[in-house]
Chains A and B, each alone.
Chain A
Amino acid sequence: MSDKTMTTDEVVSRLRSGMTLGIGGWGSRRKPMALVRALLRTGITDLTVVSYGGPDVGLLAAAGRIRRLVTAFTTLDSIPLEPHYRAARERGAFELMEVDEAMFMWGLHAAANRLPFLPVRAGLGSDVMRVNPTLRTVTSPYADATSGIREELVAMPALRLDAALVHMNRADRLGNGQYLGPDPYFDDLFCEAADAAYVSCERVVDTAELTKEAAPQTLLLKRSSVTGVVETPNGAHFTSCAPDHGRDEPFQKLYATTPYAEFAARFLAGDEQAYQSAVRAWHEEQR
């Protein structure tokens, strides 16, 4: 069994322009932000991003790295509208595949199960069908016992990914990943739907540590679907990563109200360590 630990720069060195990239978490919750910041330090662009969107999408959109986005929403949670995403959409900066939250989940399930599609009721009758003219329906081979009707449902295509980026609370060196907060979101599906999955975590621990205090069902990611592990303390910042830390609301507000160029110049010009110390310095100033 091999040691899969690597640095954030090693992770992004395995990514290429034009890839389809899944990003875990949800809105402004447990996003692999350190990996997104590392990606921003490269020249990688032309990405198809698949995400329950939050500031991950906002940053990549502001930096002009997205060619196509697959999502159901993009939000900062406590700030409902993501300003950079919004500006990018209003200037027509990228293509969008806008689907429902459940359609998105079934797209990941299909990919994880190596199926071409899965049938879902969601989407019928809505403009999701209009704005995605390639979406098709599928008719059940089974008639309903009482009505005799054979239902027609949306055939949600598999959202297969070249790579997935997710952030966990803990992981071991082999790639077993653990979440300790209240919600796993869909991070296991992102990893299983991807050809390569990179997991950042608050802390790399010995395998035995994983279940020493936490219940076994917190072990969300199996090493067989994980390619690389990176220790990035505070690596979900400024999104929430319960129970290790909550969302940095004042900093998120700063992000949402500062022009991207100005924000990037102050916080994204250096490496992850420089980012974390610039954040600390900013908080000091606010006292």
Chain B
Amino acid sequence: MSPASVPAPGAPAPPVTRAEYCVIACAEAWRDNGEVLASPMGPIPSIGARLAKRTFSPDLLLTDGEAMLVGLDGTPEGWLPYRQHLTMVTGGRRHVMMGASQLDRFGNQNISCIGDWSRPTRQLLGVRGAPVNTLNNPTSYWVPRHSPRVFVERVDMVCGVGYDRAAAAGPSATRFHRVPRVVSDLGVFDFATPDHSMRLASLHPGVTVQQVREATGFRLSVPDEVPLTREPTPRELRLIREVIDPGGARDREVRS
């Protein structure tokens, strides 16, 4: 597997790739989360969650993707079949990072279908657990290819509930609702604005505000000074390249 090979001793480390900034941005979602289940969906969020657990968030729980809670070396430490997983969701001790086929300005997400629900032009997964996730535990999103087809003015089917829809549905909907962040291949986004509309929180190095605006199908809040997504530490870079993802799965999801 090509670019992820280990450099010769003493040689300077290859420059940080876009995929590696994405890993860092995903890992940061689980900082200071404490002893909760990290539920990453997709390769880069999975690498990010493992990086967080290996470094700044050691108390995170992870699963083997089926019914076991496992340590970093795969040793089972607990049992989490689907029905208990749902209790983990509704009990709130979990932070999930889901994918999104569509995502709007207030964080409403769609993975169900494209077009009119009664007869979709493109049937996708279905709502899955997006409604229960978003109303009960922090739900972040990962979008590997930022485009106006994903970041839309209005989603065709609200699966994951955004801030405007939660507010309209009342206190039971807002009580535990939180969308901490959206990570894409272009940057990091949050909803830290007075009306909870989406805001550009950081740009991955090499990306411009103009690029993000062009790839977003709605009016995005952009602060005067936009920080850059932070650099990985040398240790983090080594963990990503040599320990967590030596096969370079991250580069197949996001190319530099």
Contact = CB atoms under 8 A, between A and B. Distances in A.
B132 interface: yes
Nearest to A83: B123
B49 interface: no
A201 interface: no
B123 A81 contact: yes
Given A102-B86, A102-B129, A126-B130, A151 B122 contact: no
A126 B126 CA distance: 13
Interface in A193-235: none
21 contacts: A72-B126, A72-B127, A72-B128, A74-B126, A81-B123, A100-B127, A101-B128, A101-B129, A102-B86, A103-B132, A120-B132, A122-B131, A124-B173, A127-B112, A127-B117, A131-B118, A149-B171, A182-B81, A183-B66, A184-B83, A186-B83
Contacts of A185: 81-82
B172 A121 contact: yes
Contacts of B168: 125
Interface string B90-126: 1000000000000000000000110001111111111
A286 interface: no
A105 interface: yes
A124 B170 CA distance: 9
A13 B189 CA distance: 57
Interface stretch (A85-93, A253-261, A271-279): A85-93
Given A90-B122, A183-B66, A152 B136 contact: no
Q: Which of B67, B127, B159, B176 gathers most chain A CB within 10 Å? A: B127
Nearest to A123: B131
A184 B81 contact: yes
B94 to A, nearest CB: 13
A190 interface: no
B67 A128 contact: no
A98 interface: yes
Interface of B: 66-68, 79, 81-83, 86, 89-90, 112-113, 117-132, 134-136, 157-161, 165-166, 168-173, 175-177
Contacts of B135: 121-122, 124-125
A121 B135 CA distance: 7
Contacts of A71: 126
Contacts of B123: 81, 85-86, 89-90
B250 to A, nearest CB: 20
A131 B170 contact: no
A43 interface: no
Nearest to B177: A125
A80 interface: yes
Top 3 closest pairs, chain A to chain B, by CB: A73-B126, A122-B132, A125-B169
A8 B61 CA distance: 42
A125 B125 contact: no
B136 A122 contact: yes
A147 interface: yes
A75 B81 CA distance: 18
Nearest to B87: A102
Q: Which of B112, B117, B132, B170 gathers most chain A CB within 10 Å? A: B132
A149 B207 CA distance: 46
A168 interface: no
Contacts of B113: 89
A130 B83 CA distance: 26
B169 A186 contact: no
B171 A99 contact: no
Given A149-B171, A182-B81, A183-B67, A125 B161 contact: yes
A151 B172 contact: yes
Contacts of B117: 98, 127, 130-131
A103 B82 CA distance: 13
Given A100-B132, A105-B86, A126 B66 contact: no
Contact of A125 (B112, B157, B166): B166
Given A126-B130, A131-B157, A102 B89 contact: yes
